[in-house]
Amino acid sequence: MIAAGRFVIPCPKVGVVHKLYALGDCHLGNKGCSVEHLQADVKRIAEDPHARVVLMGDLADYIGPTDKRWDAANISSAARVADLADWGNYLAGLVVNMFRPIAGKIIGALSGNHEATFQARQAQQLHSWTCQQLGIPDLGFSCFLDLCFQRRLDKAGTSRRYRIFAHHGAGAAQSAGGKINRLMPSMSANEADVYLVGHVHERDVKRMENLAANDTCTKITSRKKLGLFTGTYLRTYHEGTNAGYGERAGYRPVPLGCSVVEFQPFTDDFRCREESVSARVAI
C-alpha cells in the first residue's frame, strides 16, 4: 500500500465541477477490448480542463504465450506475428500510446492482477516502465491519496481536502450482492471519503453515512462515504470472435466505460455520475 500524498488542484471559482475519472480494466491487446469507446473517453478527458484521472490497473491484457490462460484467437487483430516475440513490451506500448494525450491529467496508476502476474512470470517491470514513460506516479496495488482543492495558493485556510482510497480489487464474484460484498470491506477497513475499486468489470456505487460530531462536540453531524466499482472496456460478448473467458463462464454482459466522481469543493458536494460516453454499451 502506498500513501501517495497530496494532489493540489487550483479552484479559484466556487461552483466549478471537478471530475475524477477512475479508469481501468481496459485489457488493451485483447480482441474484446472496445478501443473505440476507450479512445472516446480519453478524448473527453483531454477536452475537459477540470478532469483528473486515476488509472485502476489491468490496462493491458498481460497474458503471455507460456501462460495457461493464453488464447491466440483473442489477440487483437492489430497485432502482428512479430509482436509476439516481445509481447509484454508491445502491450505496454499500447498503454503508453493510449494515455499519453492525457498524461498531464493522470494523478497516478495502480497495478492490476494482470500486470502483477505478468511481472512475476516474465520478470518484466512493465507497470513501472509505463508510469515512467507517462511521467506519472506508480500507486502500487492500493493507495491513499488526497485531492486538495485550493481557492488561493498563497493563503492558508482556503482548501478542501478529499481522501481517496483506491484498490485494483480482487475476487471473482458475479452476483450483485457478491460484488457489493467485495466493496464493503474496503469501506469499513479504510478511512476515506471516496473508495475506488476495480477488477470485477462492473460499475456500481454504494453510499454510506457515518454519524459523527463537530469539532467542538456540540452538534451531531454525519460523514458521507462514496464507494465505486470503476468499470471495464472489455466486452463479455463480442460478435464474430472466439469466445473469451467471460463468455465461456456464462457471465452476464456489463456496461462498458469508467466511473466518474464529481466534486464541487466549496459547496462540499461530491457524487458519482456515469459520465462515460460509452455508458451502457455492452456488445
Residues 205 and 227: their CA atoms lie apart, in Å, by 6
Q: What are phi and psi of 115, to 5 degrees?
A: -60, -45
Q: How far is CA 18 from CA 6, 49, 71, 74, 96, in A?
A: 16, 9, 41, 37, 25
pLDDT value at position 243?
62
Please give the grid coordinates belonging to residue 274: 456515469
Query: Measured in Å, how far apart are the chain's first and last C-alpha atoms?
Result: 35
- Whether residue 283 is contained in a domain is answered as no
User: What is the value of pTM for the model shown?
Assistant: 0.90
pLDDT value at position 154?
57
- Whether residue 282 is contained in a domain is answered as no
What is the CATH number for 205?
3.60.21
Spacing of C-alpha 263 from chain mean position: 17
pLDDT value at position 6?
94
Structural domain tally of the chain? 1
- Whether residue 279 is contained in a domain is answered as no
Residue ranges of the chain with per-residue pLDDT less than 50: none
pLDDT value at position 236?
85
159-167 vs 194-197, strand pairing mode: parallel
| 19-44 per-position pLDDT tens digit | 999 999 999 999 999 999 999 999 99
- Whether residue 266 is contained in a domain is answered as yes
pLDDT value at position 212?
84
